[in-house]
A = this chain, B = another copy of it.
Amino acid sequence: MKPINVGIIGLGVVGGGTAQVLRENADEISRRLGRDVRVTMVSRRDIAKAQEIIGTDDTITITTDAAEIVNHPDIDIVVELIGGTTIAKDMVLQAIANGKHVVTANKKLLAEHGNEIFAAAAAKNVMVMFEAAVAGGIPIIKSLREGLAANKIEWIAGIINGTSNFILSEMRSKGSDFADVLKEAQAKGYAEADPTFDIEGHDAGHKITIMSSVAFGVPLDFSKCYLEGISTLEGKDIQYAEELGYRVKLLGITRRREDGVELRVHPTLIPQERLIANVDGVMNAVLVKADMVGVTMHYGPGAGSLPTASSVVADILDICRLIDSEAEQRVPYLAFQPHHVQTLPAISIDDIRSSYYLRLTTTDEPGVLAAVTSMLAQHSISVEALIQKATAHEEAEIVILTHSALERDMKEAIARIEDLNRVTKPVVMLRMEPFNG
């Protein structure tokens, strides 16, 4: 069979990894596929940098113009690694219009414009694959779309942002503050100079949006995702959580309920004895609860040149096998047949149920605890665990772990508690997920 020609647009860290994987494992890939796959064109604005990555391989054409690749008649598969939603979107749509198959690692593009892209791809009968967009080297999209396809998936919860997980792991193990660990992460290259996208939950939000869609067969809609990051987390909350037997992780969570779909990213307490509570550093892990299989966990490196390239190339191999297939022979873009992808109501964060961690700063005098717990009781919220400690300045801290409650009730109770004149600062509230099956 004739070789498959791949063009990479946006040749950077992952693109270089993709070229490396296809070159170094060419024999192993041919053994698997029964045909050769080769990178024949790459693009990057800065041609010197592209040359640096590609080296002396003169079988690869380097161009500054991505359009040259998506319009080239010899290219079978376009790998989009430009990032963002402007040029990347234009190029992906142009590649599709030209009848080319697409592999992308661009979570933002899919989470925000995926429906449009998949509709265009369906019209041209081409594949658009995106394993590398979620959790780097972990084959979680394949597991959700295929491996667990016998199931109704109930919920997904994932550590899907390595930067945040590194920061939280360091805050816990070293007792450091957020700002110090962020600087360390930046020095190590685990965090960007502007870390907003990672630490405020946008990146995790894009990824959980994509997983939600392939798990439940709902259109991609990042605007429905509730986002709460880790930048305001204090070291003391991580330590209190630890005392109570919990770890704090930034989780992307999505859940199918009878009345709609939850889609949210926020710091979350998890019992220490759960495997996912012990996923540290830049590693990723995704828990999936499905009706027939129960809970599975999928763990591995969530970023990096070669792990991400591993997913890009796996997608390329899937496309190669089915390059001459009909649509019904392929797994649908969002795992469900396009006409069965249906919008479900987005559930507001106020309508979720969760357990809650609260930290109150109060004056150190009798009666505060009674007032607080009676306020909780008035909102039907019961207490599972409680720590009270005197601090400096004649203040006390009360840390409360509640049983499951409706978030709306919780927030109302907190508003009342903050009205107490013995409560001197805003209440810190974090959510807790037990993950007990």
The chain A residues found within 8 Å of chain B, CB to CB, are 1, 17, 21, 24-25, 28-35, 131, 137-139, 142-143, 146-152, 217, 275, 278-279, 290-301, 306-307, 309-314, 316-318, 321-322, 324-325, 328-332, 335-337, 340
Contact = CB atoms under 8 A, between A and B. Distances in A.
How often does this chain occur in the complex, in copies?
A: 2
24 contacts: A24-B291, A25-B152, A25-B292, A29-B149, A32-B336, A32-B340, A131-B147, A137-B296, A147-B314, A148-B310, A149-B314, A150-B312, A150-B314, A275-B279, A293-B301, A293-B307, A294-B306, A294-B307, A295-B300, A298-B298, A321-B328, A321-B330, A321-B331, A324-B329
Contacts of A292: 17, 21, 25, 137, 306-307, 309-310, 313
A25 B310 CA distance: 32
A325 B328 contact: no
A297 B300 contact: yes
B150 A139 contact: no
Contact of A291 (B25, B151, B290): B25
B301 A148 contact: no
Give the 5 A-B residue pairs with the shortest CB-CB distance, closest first: A139-B147, A150-B313, A296-B300, A137-B293, A293-B310
Contacts of A147: 131, 139, 142-143, 311, 314
Nearest to A150: B313
A71 B31 CA distance: 35
Contact of A300 (B293, B300, B306, B335): B293
A300 B294 contact: yes
A275 B285 CA distance: 11
Contacts of A32: 149, 217, 332, 335-337, 340
A330 to B, nearest CB: 7
B142 A146 contact: yes
Contacts of A310: 148, 150-151, 290, 292-293
A126 to B, nearest CB: 16
Nearest to A33: B337
B29 A318 contact: no
Given A137-B293, A290-B310, A317 B25 contact: no
Given A275-B279, A331-B321, A332-B32, A294 B301 contact: yes
B21 A150 contact: yes
Contact of A28 (B152, B312, B328): B152
Contacts of A131: 147
A300 to B, nearest CB: 4
A138 B296 CA distance: 7
A241 to B, nearest CB: 19
A279 B276 CA distance: 11
A329 B329 contact: yes
Nearest to A342: B31
Nearest to A152: B28
Contacts of A313: 149-150, 292
A155 to B, nearest CB: 15
With most chain B CB atoms within 10 A of its CB, the pick from A30, A138, A330 is A138
A299 B435 CA distance: 15
A190 to B, nearest CB: 16
Nearest to A338: B34
A137 B143 CA distance: 11
Contacts of A24: 291
Contacts of A332: 32, 34
Nearest to A304: B294
A137 B316 CA distance: 26
A320 to B, nearest CB: 9
Contacts of A275: 275, 278-279, 299
A146 B21 contact: no
A340 B29 CA distance: 11
A372 B311 CA distance: 50
Contact of A150 (B29, B151, B279, B294): B29
A114 to B, nearest CB: 18
A150 B291 CA distance: 31
B139 A148 contact: yes
A77 to B, nearest CB: 14
